[in-house]
Amino acid sequence: MEPALSGTGGRLVSVVLVTWNSAAYLPRCLAGIAAQTWPELEVIAVDNASNDESVAAVETFRGSGVGGRRSEARASDPPPTPDPRRPTPITVIRNPTNAGFARAVNQAVAVARGEFVQLLNPDAFLEPDYIERLVAAFDAAGEDFGAATGTLIRGEGSAIEPTAIIDSKGIRMTRSGRHFDIGQGKPDGEDERGLARMGQTADRGPQTADHRPRTADRSLPEAQDAVQLADAGIDGFESREFPTADRGLRSAVLNEVFGASGAAAMYRRTFIDDVAVDGQFLDEDFFTFREDADVAWRGQLFGWRALHVPGAVAIHVRTVTPERRRDISAAVNMHSVKNRFLLRLKNESLYLALRNAMFEIPRDLVALVAVLTMERTSLPALQWIWRNRRRILAHRREIQRRRRVSGRVLARWFR
């Protein structure tokens, strides 16, 4: 079972919201932030030169003086009324041009004051106890866990209405070099590849010179030993009238995953500081797309671990999926091609490259042929990789120099 929820103890969570022509989704997204049961919040919104009313929507939210909500709040409720007793500090950063998602997040992280940083896409809605449950899970799992995600349900429309399928339970890796969101596009429970249940997973293996764990004990803690559990449900939360309460998502153990989807990922500040390279938490070379997989892989190399918290539920309207590639802008597809190679050039060990070669090389050849023939608008991706090869290799050397976990140990995640 998941950990019982408890008091905040004055621990601040920084919510980072990056907007780019996101006005249609923001009323719903901001209502979810305002309804959080965790009262110690600050919001940092970074706008990437939107030409719609995104900034105005955030400024309206800032002017409302909303703060931590009562625990009975429901996701279907209208935006809460101002609560001057506990206002939520809100910082708005406006970029003159579209600086990309990664740089915008780094701008926010630079001014964030929280012990935890909660990333949130503007097309996502957090149910009221989402942040509270992730913080409780971090406390239960221990200091080795630096990233966490809840169960993201696929949403639709500007009202971010839930559907019957899963959007993400975290990131899973494959031997072909691809990464997927766990359970994406399937009903809950149909595809659990990439989930490792807490207390039932073997540790990372022998501690060798290539395996220097962050703490002495690398085994997964049993939930019962980590926290005090409520006798029935999780501190009574199972009886609340959340829209997803009948989906069976709120009564499960914690899971370990490779990484967290950036749509609603929470990170410890200590994780952010530890994995930064050249002062960047998210690698700004990615600009957008796959930067969450990159930081997940880097975190694994540096000895950090990631959680999936089933009872923390969010709704996410995902617009970029493999099956919609033909409908996606040429710029996004170009970054997707660039980043698929950048991800491995920086993070993949020689052992993993050799182990996975028979799966990766055929797929790489397919991608290259497609770029040279059917999707020539992505040719700049290959040119970018060549022009920036020295910086890429410098980042690789730094990451591999600092790694604490070997490719042999991480191989269990690549299936």
Q: Is 363 in contact with 340 (CB distance < 8 Å)?
A: no
Tokens of 30: 């901001």
Does residue 240 belong to any structural domain of this protein?
yes
Structural domain containing residue 248 = 13-324
pLDDT bracket for residue 223 (50, 70, 90): very low
Q: Is 300 in contact with 399 (CB distance < 8 Å)?
A: no
- pLDDT at residue 376, rounded to an integer: 87
Asked if the model's pLDDT at residue 332 lies above 50, the reply is yes
Give the separation between CA 305 and CA 319, rounded to whole angstroms. Answer: 28
Does residue 1 belong to any structural domain of this protein?
no
On whether both 100 and 204 belong to a single domain, the answer is yes
Asked if the model's pLDDT at residue 11 lies above 60, the reply is yes
On whether both 307 and 330 belong to a single domain, the answer is no
Q: Is 151 in contact with 186 (CB distance < 8 Å)?
A: no
On whether both 350 and 329 belong to a single domain, the answer is yes
Calculate mean pLDDT across residues 10-23: 94
Does residue 5 belong to any structural domain of this protein?
no
240 vs 194 pLDDT, higher one? 194
Give the separation between CA 252 and CA 349, rounded to whole angstroms. Answer: 34
3-state secondary structure of 1: coil
- pLDDT at residue 14, rounded to an integer: 98
pLDDT above 70 covers what percent of the chain?
A: 76
**Phi and psi dihedrals of 46, rounded to 5?**
-120, 120
- pLDDT at residue 251, rounded to an integer: 45
Give the separation between CA 254 and CA 150, rounded to whole angstroms. Answer: 10
Which residues, in sequence order, are CB contacts of 398 under 8 Å at separation 6+? 277, 278
Asked if the model's pLDDT at residue 298 lies above 60, the reply is yes
- pLDDT at residue 2, rounded to an integer: 57
208 vs 258 pLDDT, higher one? 258
Mean pLDDT of the chain: 83
Does residue 228 belong to any structural domain of this protein?
yes
- pLDDT at residue 291, rounded to an integer: 93
- pLDDT at residue 1, rounded to an integer: 54
DSSP character string of 229-293: PPSSTTTTGGGS--TTGGGT-SS---EEESB--TTS-EEEHHHHHHH-BTTBSS-GGG-SSSHHH
- pLDDT at residue 329, rounded to an integer: 77
On whether both 239 and 203 belong to a single domain, the answer is yes
- pLDDT at residue 339, rounded to an integer: 87
Question: Nearest Cα to 164, choosing from 232, 247, 265?
Answer: 247
Give the separation between CA 145 and CA 63, rounded to whole angstroms. Answer: 36
- pLDDT at residue 236, rounded to an integer: 31
Calculate mean pLDDT across residues 114-140: 97
- pLDDT at residue 231, rounded to an integer: 26
Does residue 209 belong to any structural domain of this protein?
yes
Asked if the model's pLDDT at residue 250 lies above 80, the reply is no
- pLDDT at residue 253, rounded to an integer: 82
Q: For residue 206, what is the domain's CATH number?
A: 3.90.550.10
Asked if the model's pLDDT at residue 204 lies above 60, the reply is no
- pLDDT at residue 213, rounded to an integer: 46
Residue-wise pLDDT tens digits, 68-115: 443 333 444 454 444 444 568 899 999 999 999 999 999 999 999 999
Torsional sign, CA 378, 379, 381, 382: positive
Which residues, in sequence order, are CB contacts of 296 under 8 Å at separation 6+? 147, 171, 258, 259, 260, 306
On whether both 406 and 280 belong to a single domain, the answer is no
Give the separation between CA 388 and CA 26, rounded to whole angstroms. Answer: 36
Out of 14-28, 99-113, 321-335, 396-410, pick the least confident: 321-335
- pLDDT at residue 62, rounded to an integer: 79
Q: Is 147 in contact with 50 (CB distance < 8 Å)?
A: no
pLDDT bracket for residue 404 (50, 70, 90): very high
288 vs 398 pLDDT, higher one? 398
On whether both 320 and 360 belong to a single domain, the answer is no
CB atoms inside a 10 Å sphere around CB 4: 17
Give the separation between CA 286 and CA 256, rounded to whole angstroms. Answer: 25
Asked if the model's pLDDT at residue 244 lies above 80, the reply is no
- pLDDT at residue 295, rounded to an integer: 97
On whether both 113 and 126 belong to a single domain, the answer is yes
Asked if the model's pLDDT at residue 218 lies above 60, the reply is no
Q: How far is CA 84 from each of CA 32, 64, 415, rounded to the nearest angstrom?
A: 18, 9, 51
Out of 48-52, 110-114, 252-256, 320-324, pick the least confident: 320-324
On whether both 136 and 240 belong to a single domain, the answer is yes
Q: Is 196 in contact with 306 (CB distance < 8 Å)?
A: no
Which residues, in sequence order, are CB contacts of 13 under 8 Å at separation 6+? 38, 40, 41, 42, 114, 115, 116, 117, 118, 131, 135, 266
pTM: 0.83
**Final residue belonging to a domain, choices 289, 324, 359:** 324
Beta bridge partners of 87: 67
Does residue 3 belong to any structural domain of this protein?
no
On whether both 299 and 385 belong to a single domain, the answer is no
Does residue 8 belong to any structural domain of this protein?
no
pLDDT above 90 covers what percent of the chain?
A: 67
On whether both 291 and 405 belong to a single domain, the answer is no
Does residue 181 belong to any structural domain of this protein?
yes
Residue appearing with tokens 């997964």: 220
Per the structure, how many domains does the chain have? 2
Give the separation between CA 114 and CA 286, rounded to whole angstroms. Answer: 25
On whether both 153 and 22 belong to a single domain, the answer is yes
Give the separation between CA 249 and CA 138, rounded to whole angstroms. Answer: 18
**Final residue belonging to a domain, choices 295, 324, 353:** 324
